Structure 1
Amino acid sequence: MQTDVATPSRRPQFGLQPTLAWTAMLGLVFFSLLCILAHAGGLLRLAYPAGALAVGLFLFRRYPVLYLGFAWWLAFLTPFVRRLIDFQSGWVDPSPVLLAPFLVMMLTGLTFVQHFPRYLRQDGLPFILSAGGVLYGMLVGLIKYPPTAVVVPLLNWLAPILFGFHLFVNWRSYPAYRQNLERVFLWGVLVSGAYGVLQYLIAPEWDRFWLINSKSIAFGTPEPLGMRVFSTMNSPGPFATVMMAGLLLLFSSQSMLRFAAVGVGYLSFLLSLVRSSWLGWVVGVVMYIPSLKPRLQMRLIVTILVMAICVIPLVNMQPFSGAIAARLQTFSNTQNDVSYNQRLEGYGQILGDALAEIPGNGLGFVLANDSLGSNDSGILSMLFNLGWFGTIPYLGGMILLFFSLFRGTEGRSDPFVSASRAISLGVFAQIGLGSSTLALSGVVMWSFAGIALAAQRFYRQQQLLSEVGSE
């Protein structure tokens, strides 16, 4: 396999190198743009995921670092591409376009198969346990439902685990992967945050079209100043999770672009009105600061103060302050919070049924007449889909994962490691309020956990080499 994983230079690189890889990626971009301009959305619905998978496979084999960035940008932008296609060529749900990022991430299943025996008794056990729980749910689902009903849930459950495992086992490439993730999320926050603010102010026609046809009442009204921001992503929840991760990473960024990213990032993050992600961000910050050396703590506190100076005037400016302030007030006034009360009532109605699921219903299960929505709780989703037989290894793998994450001290000298741990825990902390371990939110959690574990192995190896060299 040709590698592009040598430790990168700190000097900025402006050329699109390697040429062959960028030709493949830009080819997909220009082909998609051409189809949209030519109103050939029907063709693009199938060509887009097929083309993304072909490019992803090429990058996976030849340019692994670029593959990582390509997969993330697909996750960030594919729902936006879907909305443009539907706006031009008619509403289709479910849309095959949305499969693209998860099909590309499933390529890391090749890494899982290759390294499974070696890491069974090593630090890879959390990923293997959780993947085993998902595969159990898949088998039950295939017995009970048509295979087509199991495909999308399998991608949502399994792709995040495989993607995180891929980052972990490629620990030797940690410096290059770290730089790639920092760059991807810097630009991701900037682009998605800026579009999110624009979406709130003008409500583009394709976003209004999607909101009307999806009948997602909880996402606001299809008019300017009426939407809960979801930016280029599929709904406010995954968008807020991605922004939470990016904003935590920006604390350690040295790029001058970080100040622009912070402004639009925090504003759109708050306009998403996703309280669980707001709480996840607080959990992340609380975990992040104490894990650093005192010198880095002071630098981080100064950075937070500078960011606050940039953000607070924007948040208190009309027309943004009204929606944000009203949502913040729900933390102290739960009696009039319809969403909170519905969720509480739903838990009371179906929690007993969920706890009684021993074998589970399998992936593809949809709870009939669900006032809460099994997707509104990761705990209920686990119990209904996996049962206790699948939930025990799946949840046990995650608990073991966090135990492994926080036993090392690498984060005290590497802020990226501390941020990665904080991001993973911040996402996991939302499990009672949403399916935070699945789909794009799950990719965020498992990926940053995977790269934090990779950092542990990388620094241990560096220390061993240093000790050998000093003898």
Structure 2
Amino acid sequence: MQTNVSTPNHRRQFGLQPTLAWTAMLGLVCFSLLCILAGAGGLLRLAYPAIALLVGLFLFKRYPVLYLGFTWWIAFLTPFVRRLIDFQSGWVDPSPVLLAPFLVMMLTGLTFVQYLPRYLRQDGLPFILSAAGVFYGLLVGLIKYPPTAVVVPLLNWLAPILFGFHLFVHWRHYPAYRQNVERVFLWGVLVMGAYGVLQYLVAPEWDRFWLISSKAIAFGTPEPLGMRVFSTLNSPGPFATVMMAGLLLLFNNQGTLRFAAGGVGYLSFLLSLVRASWLGWAVGVVAFVPSLKPRLQMRLIVTILVMAVCVVPLVNTQPFSGAIAARLQTFSNTQDDVSYNQRLEGYGQIMGEALAEIPGNGLGFVLTNDSLGSNDSGILTLLFNLGWFGTLPYLGGTVLLFFSLFRGKEGQTDPFVSAARAISLGVFAQIGLGSSMLALSGVVMWSFAGMALAAQRFYRYQHLLQPGDE
């Protein structure tokens, strides 16, 4: 039985109530717009993460559902704000603006400390084991490198785990969290997808400036029809992961807006040219469909067919078809695929060295290799940064996480649970092709896993309250 539990307080939080919370969030938006319009990008560069943290702390304490939505939107839009600031006030790298989403997420460390003793021997063990592996890497990194070199890697590694744990332990809020996440990702896919298509066709000046300044040659050329789409995010990889999650969630949506979101969403997703996320989406669909009851399977299949009718004509129309078709051909013609062959060469050069990393180099270590960087493989990232001492608990926690995710049957009656499992598995499936467990991609994996585990506890509690209900 699917149970929809929603209190009046939860319902109020989906409009522009409570007024104080929305005033705080819109205040950040208005302040950012005013600074950009007034040419005060330098001020905003420091003020933006500080104000975002204060707003996040206020919502975290008072309005937990709005905190969740605020965190996702800060993650979606902060790289875009950074590009506007740099375009106006000059290129700065690393930019303190990019700290904003991770500072907001790290507030959930308070939840981790508060609930750690209670969940040490319960379903929270996967999060605790993986966090232990990260803390080991932190200790090694602090011994080898200056503290400033460890801060950003720590945020990238730890924030996803803490955020997922926070969602899990607040399982009583699951219905409100579910509704919030579905709405956030519906609008997120629509907004980011539409801007992604515009980015490909027009190549806005701030995006071109960022591409030139960052020297990110792998992201294409700074001209219309030349960019690999990254939309409002910082690079094609995280963008494709977020879109993969949003597009899988659209299968659950029954509103008409999902077709517009799906059209621009799939088109921009394909224009990102991130094959790892394409494969992750396929893994997600394969995991999604069998977990549903036959009636929900038929509804999902119909939705996929309708989405295909909307998307296929766009994909086969110039100027989109050329770039997408060329990328798709690399699946069958690997001999001429330069990046694929470079990745294989890199693996051959350093895999033996990675496997020999017993203590690891710690957080802050950066692999330099002409053919392969550590970000091209989550496996290499784990071994070089955490060593076997840190990798074993981290991977042990991850394996235990997925074992826990797929042992329940809640997904048969609640499609969101099935989608959340599929999303987490789809992200993890990319670990051999990128560091999918870190930064925003990691947030997607751990947060949806946390939501699925929260659903298990929520429905288990509902069945205890109604033992005769089937």
- CA drift of 1:434 comes to 0.2
Deviations 1:233-261, CA, capped at 9 Å, x for gaps: 00000000000000000001012210100
In the other structure, the counterpart of 2:137 is: 137
- CA drift of 1:9 comes to 9.7
Report the Cα distance in structure 2 between the residues aligned to 1:435 and 1:324, rounded to whole angstroms: 23
Name the SS for the 1:91 alignment partner: coil
Decide which moves more: 421-430 or 33-42. Answer: 33-42
The residue type equivalent to 2:128 in the other structure is I
In the other structure, the counterpart of 2:201 is: 201
The residue type equivalent to 2:35 in the other structure is C
Report the Cα distance in structure 2 between the residues aligned to 1:258 and 1:10, rounded to whole angstroms: 23
- CA drift of 1:370 comes to 4.7
Preserved contact between residue 428 and residue 437 of structure 2 (Cα < 8 Å): yes
Hey, which bits of structure 1, 4+ residues long, moved more than 3 A?
A: 5-15
Taking only the aligned residue pairs, the percentage that are identical comes to: 87
In the other structure, the counterpart of 2:431 is: 431
Name the SS for the 1:269 alignment partner: helix
Report the Cα distance in structure 1 between the residues aligned to 2:400 and 2:198, rounded to whole angstroms: 41
Matches within 5 A, 1:90-109: 90-109=90-109
In the other structure, the counterpart of 1:69 is: 69
In the other structure, the counterpart of 1:84 is: 84
- CA drift of 1:467 comes to 1.2
- CA drift of 1:371 comes to 2.7
Deviations 1:123-155, CA, capped at 9 Å, x for gaps: 000000000000000010001100000000000
Is 1:321–2:334 an aligned residue pair?
no
Preserved contact between residue 137 and residue 386 of structure 2 (Cα < 8 Å): yes
Is 1:363–2:357 an aligned residue pair?
no
Preserved contact between residue 346 and residue 369 of structure 2 (Cα < 8 Å): no
Is 1:226–2:226 an aligned residue pair?
yes
Gaps of 5+ in 1: none
Report the Cα distance in structure 2 between the residues aligned to 1:439 and 1:14, rounded to whole angstroms: 27
Report the Cα distance in structure 1 between the residues aligned to 2:256 and 2:14, rounded to whole angstroms: 16
Preserved contact between residue 262 and residue 311 of structure 2 (Cα < 8 Å): yes
The residue type equivalent to 1:242 in the other structure is V
TM-score normalised to structure 2 length: 0.97
Name the SS for the 1:317 alignment partner: coil
The residue type equivalent to 2:184 in the other structure is V
In the other structure, the counterpart of 1:461 is: 461
TM-score normalised to structure 1 length: 0.97
- CA drift of 1:367 comes to 1.8
Preserved contact between residue 7 and residue 175 of structure 1 (Cα < 8 Å): no
Report the Cα distance in structure 2 between the residues aligned to 1:395 and 1:223, rounded to whole angstroms: 41
Matches within 5 A, 1:176-191: 176-191=176-191
- CA drift of 1:444 comes to 0.1
Is 1:395–2:395 an aligned residue pair?
yes
Matches within 5 A, 1:154-169: 154-169=154-169
Deviations 1:356-376, CA, capped at 9 Å, x for gaps: 100000000012345300011
Preserved contact between residue 7 and residue 173 of structure 1 (Cα < 8 Å): no
- CA drift of 1:68 comes to 0.3
Preserved contact between residue 14 and residue 180 of structure 2 (Cα < 8 Å): no
In the other structure, the counterpart of 2:149 is: 149
Report the Cα distance in structure 2 between the residues aligned to 1:469 and 1:287, rounded to whole angstroms: 28
Preserved contact between residue 10 and residue 65 of structure 2 (Cα < 8 Å): no
In the other structure, the counterpart of 2:58 is: 58
Name the SS for the 1:76 alignment partner: helix
The residue type equivalent to 2:409 in the other structure is T
Name the SS for the 2:251 alignment partner: helix
- CA drift of 1:15 comes to 4.2
Name the SS for the 1:121 alignment partner: coil
Deviations 1:276-305, CA, capped at 9 Å, x for gaps: 000000000000000000010011111111
Aligned residues: 466
RMSD over equivalenced CA pairs, Å? 1.5
Preserved contact between residue 347 and residue 372 of structure 2 (Cα < 8 Å): yes
Deviations 1:164-189, CA, capped at 9 Å, x for gaps: 00000000000000000000000000
Preserved contact between residue 8 and residue 176 of structure 1 (Cα < 8 Å): no
Is 1:29–2:55 an aligned residue pair?
no
Deviations 1:377-398, CA, capped at 9 Å, x for gaps: 0000000000000000001100
Report the Cα distance in structure 2 between the residues aligned to 1:393 and 1:14, rounded to whole angstroms: 39
Report the Cα distance in structure 1 between the residues aligned to 2:468 and 2:452, rounded to whole angstroms: 25
Preserved contact between residue 127 and residue 161 of structure 1 (Cα < 8 Å): yes
Name the SS for the 2:174 alignment partner: helix
- CA drift of 1:103 comes to 0.4
Report the Cα distance in structure 2 between the residues aligned to 1:242 and 1:419, rounded to whole angstroms: 13
The residue type equivalent to 1:84 in the other structure is L
Report the Cα distance in structure 1 between the residues aligned to 2:133 and 2:61, rounded to whole angstroms: 28
Gaps of 5+ in 2: none
In the other structure, the counterpart of 1:115 is: 115
Name the SS for the 1:252 alignment partner: coil
Preserved contact between residue 189 and residue 246 of structure 1 (Cα < 8 Å): yes
Report the Cα distance in structure 1 between the residues aligned to 2:313 and 2:8, rounded to whole angstroms: 37
The residue type equivalent to 2:161 in the other structure is I
Matches within 5 A, 1:236-385: 236-385=236-385
In the other structure, the counterpart of 1:443 is: 443
Decide which moves more: 366-375 or 401-410. Answer: 366-375
